[in-house]
Amino acid sequence: MRVLITGGAGFIGSHTADLLLEKGYEVRILDSLDPPVHPQRKKPGYLSTDAEFILGDVRNKSDVQKALQGVDSVFHLAAYQGYLTDFGKFAFTNDGGTALIYELILEKRLPISRVVLGSSQAVYGEGKYHCVRDGIQYPAPRPLEQLERGDWDLECPVCQQPMQSLPTDELRVTPHNQYAVSKYCQELYALTLGRRFGIPTVVLRYSITQGPRQSFYNAYSGILRISATRLLQNLPPIIYEDGKQLRDYVYVKDVAAANILALENEAATYQVYNVGGTEILSVSEYVKLLSKVVGREVIPEIPGEFRFGDVRHIISDISKIRELGWQPRTSLEQIMSEYFEWATEQPEVRDFYTEASQVMKQMGVIRATR
Ligand SMILES: NC(=O)c1ccc[n+]([C@@H]2O[C@H](COP(=O)([O-])OP(=O)(O)OC[C@H]3O[C@@H](n4cnc5c(N)ncnc54)[C@H](O)[C@@H]3O)[C@@H](O)[C@H]2O)c1
């Protein structure tokens, strides 16, 4: 069985390729070696030579047509990610690429038995909350004036009282930024066209995914890559807001295992699953644990800045995929030490965050409180 992985030269794609090869699948990769992730535009050394590699773009019809020829299934993982304000690139890459895959499957009558789309927890925006008086709420993004006051927490939209953040299940999405909107549109294309034309499709919404091979060049987001590369240079990690934001984190090889499950399990057809972790830590707790695990006890900086478009808390409820037989197996300490060890071995590692943060400040993404 031959499987195409778009974005297979990237972080999650390459680990998925390795696991597929291990299980006896033939693997083809379509990847444009997009500069934010691969600035040298070179095929990364970690890619298995057993995987066929096509240099091409998911926005280009003839590239996608060539990549789809003769494959049985597709992992669609190529995407433009982050917080920058080039909104068009999010839509053209993420949504245009997804629509093109379905267009070609239909136009060329390709016998594709499965498309697995890598989506994101970002589609939940601020996610699910509970108000003691008004029950379950899915709040709107925090207004800019609130964030500029350094007032971080969400209030109940009905009674304006504090609310409690809850693990968010798959039932309702409230995307709040350009990346999240583009990921949800991908899902709509994939599931709508998949159902309508009988192209079995599965959507997986990954939480913050971590592990070796995560490109440290793309330092616009990613708590582990940014903090670890700064600690390696003996620079303090930077924490946005007050550091009390809650997140869940998942190991990349656990995500690769979820991908294979979505490929192989018939019951997953046309379903959406969260793929997340069980260790819920605030950003400050996370950075503290990382410093301890890697043996560099540097006090982080909390400069009173925030990323406009970021969410306060988001934690995925993974009950649904557990029922399918998947669970996260790797502890946060293991993930952190493995990533740090890998980053230490990379000759080109340095602090890419300082430059990325300047770009984000110029674009009004990182802002200061007043
Ligand atoms: N890493 C995470 O924490 C995370 C969390 C949630 C969802 N996701 C989703 O998982 C998928 C994989 O993410 P990742 O972390 O491996 O990212 P990554 O940046 O490491 O890999 C993405 C790959 O896609 C390629 N690519 C980008 N634009 C392309 C284009 N136009 N044509 C062809 N290839 C292109 C890049 O060159 C890169 O190799 C993405 O769809 C992402 O939105 C990732």
The tens digit of pLDDT for each residue in 188-238 reads 999 999 999 999 999 999 999 999 999 887 766 788 988 988 998 889 999
Q: Which amino acid would we find at residue 239?
A: I
For residue 50, report the phi and psi dihedrals to the nearest 5 degrees: -80, -10
- For ligand 1, atom 43, name the residue with the nearest CA: 79
Cα 162 versus chain centre, distance: 29
Strands 129-131 and 164-165, bridge-based pairing: antiparallel
Sign of CA dihedral 211, 185, 93, 265: positive
Contact (Cβ atoms closer than 8 angstroms) between residue 120 and residue 176: no
The mean-pLDDT minimum among 26-30, 108-112, 256-260, 308-312 falls in 308-312
311/125 Cα distance (integer angstroms): 6
Structural domains of the chain, ranges and CATH numbers in brackets: 2-128+166-365 (3.40.50.720), 129-165 (no CATH)
Q: Report how far Cα 37 is from the mean position of its chain's Cα atoms.
A: 13
Give me the sign of the Cα torsion angle 176, 182, 186, 188: positive
Ligand 1, atom 34, lies closest to the CA of 31
Tokens of 164: 């409690």
Contact criterion met (CB below 8 Å) for 12 and 206:
yes
Mutate to test the pocket of ligand 1, among 47, 77, 311 (most ligand atoms within 8 A of CB): 77
Closest atom of ligand 1 to 13 CA is 16
CA of 77 to the centre of ligand 1 (A): 5
Spell out which residues line ligand 1, taking CB within 6 angstroms: 6-7, 9-13, 30-34, 37-38, 57-59, 77-81, 93, 118, 120, 206, 208-209, 215
Interval 38-97: pLDDT, tens: 988 999 999 999 999 999 999 999 999 999 999 999 999 999 998 788 999 999 999 999
Residue with the smallest CA separation from ligand 1 atom 26 is 78
